[in-house]
Every structure is written in C-alpha cells, then in structure tokens.
Copies of this chain bind each other. A is one copy, B any other.
Amino acid sequence: MRTLAATETGSASRRSNAPQTVLRVAVAGATGYAGRELLRLLARHPYTRVTRLMSSGRLEKKGFPIEHSHPILRGKFDVLCEPLSLEGLVPAEVDLVFLATPHETALDLAPLLLNRNVRVVDLSGAFRLKDAATYPRWYGFEHHAHQALEEAVYGITELNAASIRQARLVANPGCYATSVILGLAPLLKKGWTDPSAGIISDSKSGASGAGRAPSDKLHFVEVNENCRAYGLFGHRHVPEMLQTLGLAEKDFIFTPHLLPITRGILSTIYVRLAKSRSAEEVAALYRDFYSQAPLVRVLESGLPEIQSVAHTNYTDIGFALDRDGQRMVIVSALDNLGKGAAGQAVQNMNLMFGFDEETALL
C-alpha cells in the first residue's frame, strides 16, 4: 500500500477534492418508493445531510422513525419523519427540498418554497410540461402556478445540464420519459430520422414505477407471472417526451407494459432513418452525443438489459439495424427508481450545488 497523489487514485479521486461543506436536504414524500431510494442514495452521499423527512401519506400526528416505513433504512437517519409542513423549510435551515409527493401536493408546495428562496427538485409531474394548458388533459388538474412553471427546468440531466446548474426548480423527468428521450435524442436532435414516418416506443417497467399505494392491480398475485400493456394512446409521460424531442402526437406511439420485477425499464424503440446508415455511423453518432455524459453508456455491440442497470444510475443504450440500414430498433434500459427517479434527482442536485455529477451514484 503506497501513498498516491490524489490525481492518481482513479475512482477515489473524485471525492478527494470535494468541498468540506454539507448540503442540508429535506425530503417531502419520504415514505414512497422514490423517497426510499432517495434516502438510500443520500445516506451514501458524502456532502449532504438529511435534516427533514416529511410524509403526507401517513396519518401519524407525531413523527416516526423512517425505518417504520422503510426497514432497509434502519439506523441510518436520526431525524423523525413528520407530517408534511412548510415549517422550517427556509434557507437558514435547508438548502434543497426534494418533492417526492403526489403531483397536486408538489404543485402547491413548489411555488411557496421558491418564494422563500429554497431550491427544489420535484420528482412529480407538476412542472414538467411547459404549456400549462395541457395539464387538465394529462394530469386532470388546472395548473395555477404559472410563474413557477415558467421558471422550472426540465431535469433530463444529459440534455439540460447548463440550465439545471442554475435552476431553482428542477422538474425531474418521468421514468419512462427518461428512457425514451435518451434513446431517441441523438437521432432527433441531429435530424437523422423523419418523424412523420412514425416512431413507436414499446416500453416495459417494473412494478415500483406504479407507486406504493396498494391496489387490486398491484397485488403480488396479479403482477407475478404476468405481463400486461396499459395506458395505450394516453400515458401521462407522453407529453414530456413530445415536448423534449420536438415530436407531434400523431407521429409517436408509446405503449407501457407492467413487468413482474421490482425495478427497471426497458424501452424498445422503432424508427426509420431518413437514409441508410451503417452500424458504425449510428454508434459514432450516439457515442459523440453522449461523450460528456458519464452516466449514459452506449453499447458498441449487444443490447442493454434491465439487470445491467438495476440498482445503478446508468442508462444503457444499444441498437440494431436491418440489412437495409434504414429500419432501426433502439433499446434503452435504466432503473426506474435510479435514473428514472431518485438517481436523476440526486444527479441534478449534484449539478445544482457543484458536486461531481456522479457523487453517490456509483
């Protein structure tokens, strides 16, 4: 064992020059699955301290240890989980609030926090769509927080890093949306495909994406040894995909499926290229596009699978071309609780506060 200069130390080096400061973080909606994963990541984050845990989903009037809700977190947090409230969410006490609450709750809370000058990463859909008029159709509520909506930055880290660094309010993308957007962005941003030929994403997700509230459809026996499609031509993540990719609704079909697994999304995406391309050309396009994105892995051969990204913050992307070089299938894989939710939220936090992008995410 010899002593190395920090610059020699490989994976260790990222931490060695980090600031000796600690970010004070609150998590609202701590008892859900995204909350659980967020807390697992934050427990591992060397420069944050969780100072507030809140939940609206539990009726307890008094605070309770978060391990009552998430036994895996036993012993990790001293602070109790309390009923949702704005008390203490002020810059003197907290630097960042993660909202892992229902959309409607986030819609109410985020503007109040911005008014207090507290930064927010919102994991709900309340601030993802730039056009407030689209909310009634897709989310079933009128969007009244126009100013916050205008200020919000859509937090797809790899595409919007510069804006995220400055943002006071980051609208963390949906899990399906992240997998589809990252899978298609290189082609669409570079104009390699004519969208009017039609693009289809056939996506498959683990059951944690459906949230923790018990229901007939999420009973173990109903999900196990099963697979089903749902939300055809109407899933709520569609508009953020259209908006980010610049697609028209008529040119895009998105079909989500429920898999009998806990975590992970696989999106199989069908496109027709504007002209014939070789596999090398396509691979180069993707590699270049994501050359600055340490958490997107472009596969030079083979296809991604869920197991290679579960419990990580990676998005793996691969593809296959027909012999004609025009019909292309892209496969994109990520962990719906990782890059699809809590991991991307932490990644965005890292950008917002100047930490290395991958901190706590390796």
> Using a CB–CB distance below 8 Å, which chain A residues touch chain B?
1-4, 6, 8-12, 14-24, 33, 43-49, 71-72, 74-76, 95, 198, 200, 202, 204, 206-208, 212, 214-216, 218-230, 232-233, 250, 253, 255, 257, 259-264, 266, 268, 270, 272, 297, 299, 302-312, 314, 316, 320-324, 327, 329, 331, 353, 356, 358-359, 362
A220/B232 in contact, CB under 8 A: no
In the complex, which residue of chain B has the Cβ closest to the Cβ of A68? Answer: B302
Task: Report how many copies the assembly holds.
Answer: 4
Contact at A212–B207, with CB atoms within 8 Å?
no
What's the nearest-Cβ distance from chain B to residue A336, in Å? 11
| B74 touching A297, Cβ below 8 Å | yes
In the bound assembly, the distance between CA atoms of A255 and B330 in angstroms comes to 11
Given the complex of chains A and B, what is the CA–CA distance between A24 and B312 in angstroms? 25
Instruction: Identify the closest chain B residue to A48 (Cβ).
Output: B12
Complex CA–CA separation, A304 to B228 (angstroms) = 7
Alpha-carbon gap, A8 to B358, bound state (A): 19
With a cutoff of 8 Å between Cβ atoms, the chain B residues found around residue A228 in the complex are 266, 303-307
* B-side contacts of A316, CB under 8 Å: 71, 74
> Is B306 in contact with A225, judged by CB distance below 8 angstroms?
yes
CB-defined contacts of A225 to chain B, threshold 8 Å: 206, 225, 261-264, 306-307, 310
A362–B44 CB distance below 8 A: yes
Question: How far does the Cβ of A85 sit from chain B's closest Cβ, in whole Å?
Answer: 22
Knowing that A12-B48, A228-B307 are A-B contacts, what are 4 other residue pairs whose CB atoms are under 8 Å apart, sorted by A's residue number?
A: A3-B21, A11-B46, A72-B307, A220-B262
Whether A308 pairs with B71 at a CB distance below 8 angstroms is yes
A219 touching B220 by the CB < 8 A rule? yes
Are B200 and A224 within 8 A (Cβ)? no
Residues in B neighbouring A47, C-beta threshold 8 A: 12
Within the complex, what minimum Cβ distance (angstroms) separates A109 from chain B?
Answer: 21
Which residue of chain B has its CB nearest to the CB of A233? B322
Is the beta-carbon distance between A43 and B260 smaller than 8 angstroms? no
What residues of B have a CB within 8 angstroms of the CB of A308 in the complex?
71-72, 74
Does A253 contact B311, Cβ atoms closer than 8 Å? no
Could you say which residues of chain B place their CB within 8 Å of the CB of A3? 19-22
CB distance from A277 to the nearest CB of B (A): 15
10 residue pairs of the A-B complex, CB under 8 angstroms, read A1-B95, A4-B22, A71-B308, A71-B316, A74-B314, A74-B316, A220-B224, A220-B262, A225-B307, A232-B303
Q: Which are the 8 A-B pairs with shortest beta-carbon distances?
A: A228-B305, A232-B320, A202-B202, A71-B308, A220-B223, A214-B214, A226-B307, A12-B46
In the complex, residue of chain B having the shortest beta-carbon distance to the beta carbon of A297: B74
B contact residues around A223 at 8 Å (CB): 220, 224
Residues of B close to A204: CB separation below 8 A: 204, 227, 257
B221 touches A305 (CB 8 A): no
Which of A19, A33, A261 is the most central at the interface, judged by chain B CB atoms within 10 Å of its CB?
Answer: A261
Structural contact, A262 and B227, CB atoms closer than 8 A: no
Q: Is the CB of A356 within 8 A of B14?
A: yes
